[in-house]
A and B are shown apart, each in its own frame.
Chain A
Amino acid sequence: MSAHNHTEEHHTGLRVYAAVCLALFVLTAVTVYVAKFDFGDFNIVVAMLIASIKAAIVALYFMHLKFEDKLTWIYALYPLFLLFLLIGFTIMETFTRVPVIK
């Protein structure tokens, strides 16, 4: 992290932002469209996949994560790991409970 880092900061242009915005619009349309089809258990997988692509685009370009240093990346990704623990283990615990009293 050099001291003069911020003065010549990532001047992402209007074109890139406009392309990003358009991509997000298209992905919104796609997610609404594919929701009309039933993939069974994969409905949520498809929806979350598209949402995660959108989220990644927002973080990388709008939030400038693409231009950030390693430390910021670590702190941006670490909560996602905690989220995985929180949701993953809650579900695992609930559905592997052995009923003690019948």
Chain B
Amino acid sequence: MSSTVEHAESHAHGHGLGDAVTHNAAKFGMWLFLGTEILLFGGLFAAYALFRAKYPDLFYDSHKKLDVTLGAINTIVLIFSSFTMALAVSASQKRNRNWLMILLSITFICGAAFGVNKYFEYSAKFHHHIYPETNIFFALYFMMTGLHMLHVFIGMGIIFALIIMAKQGRFKEGNRYTPVEVGGLYWHLVDLIWIYLFPLLYLIG
């Protein structure tokens, strides 16, 4: 059964023209989708810019209540996960299944660590009776980091699926590694958005 599937796949995704076209189309499609993601966050960035310009003192005072150390640790964790994801794409290109699975797992664990860190951060805020309705700064803080957290969870789901696919031997010689590369693009975007959220919310307010 599996050998017939593999046989069919190696025909469908061999090194012919169709393979390259499909691969490039998938990547291009992901770039298009990332554009819409940037604009999704863009609405919130616009709101941030507007209210920060209107209430600079409120933003300054409120941002002091965020934990810069925790935010910085999460930044490092996410950058490191982007690094391991990039290496995972490399491993998939070299058809190195073991390293691919190890690197994807590390990336997944980093995502989880980010989530745990964020959980403690949110808990500390609630403990100090800081909620989204506290003021416009915290409304934006919870909305932006919450939407970002959702993206981290979705990214972790994608990475989990990639680990399963790698375990099943889907990225062997002759097969496309497109899913790894496209999933990687999504994960990097999650990192990219955090790169802006961290200074805007934690550092300058």
**A residues neighboring B (CB under 8 Å):** 1-7, 9, 11-14, 17-18, 20-21, 24-25, 28, 31-32, 35, 43-44, 47-48, 50-51, 54-55, 58-59, 61-63, 68, 71-72, 75-76, 78-80, 82-83, 86-87, 90-91, 94-95
Contact of B203 among A47, A54, A86 (CB under 8 A): A47
Tell me the dominant secondary structure on chain B's binding face: helix
Q: Chain B interface: which size bin?
A: 35 or more
A76 touches B35 (CB 8 A): yes
Task: Name the residue on A nearest B19 (C-beta).
Answer: A6
Q: Which of A14, A24, A68, A71 has the most CB of B within 10 A?
A: A24
Contacts of B72 in A (CB 8 A): 28, 32
B86 touches A17 (CB 8 A): yes
Judged by a CB distance under 8 angstroms, whether B90 is at the interface is yes
**B residues neighboring A (CB under 8 Å):** 15-17, 19-21, 23-24, 27-28, 31-32, 34-36, 38-39, 42-43, 45-46, 49-50, 53-54, 68, 72, 75-76, 79-80, 82-83, 85-87, 90, 93-94, 184-185, 188-189, 191-192, 195-196, 198-200, 203-204
A51 touches B199 (CB 8 A): yes
Q: How far is the CA of A55 from the CA of B192 in the complex (A)?
A: 6
Tell me the dominant secondary structure on chain A's binding face: helix
| Nearest Cβ on chain A to B181's Cβ, whole angstroms | 8
A72 touches B28 (CB 8 A): yes
Q: How far is the CA of A52 from the CA of B82 in the complex (A)?
A: 16
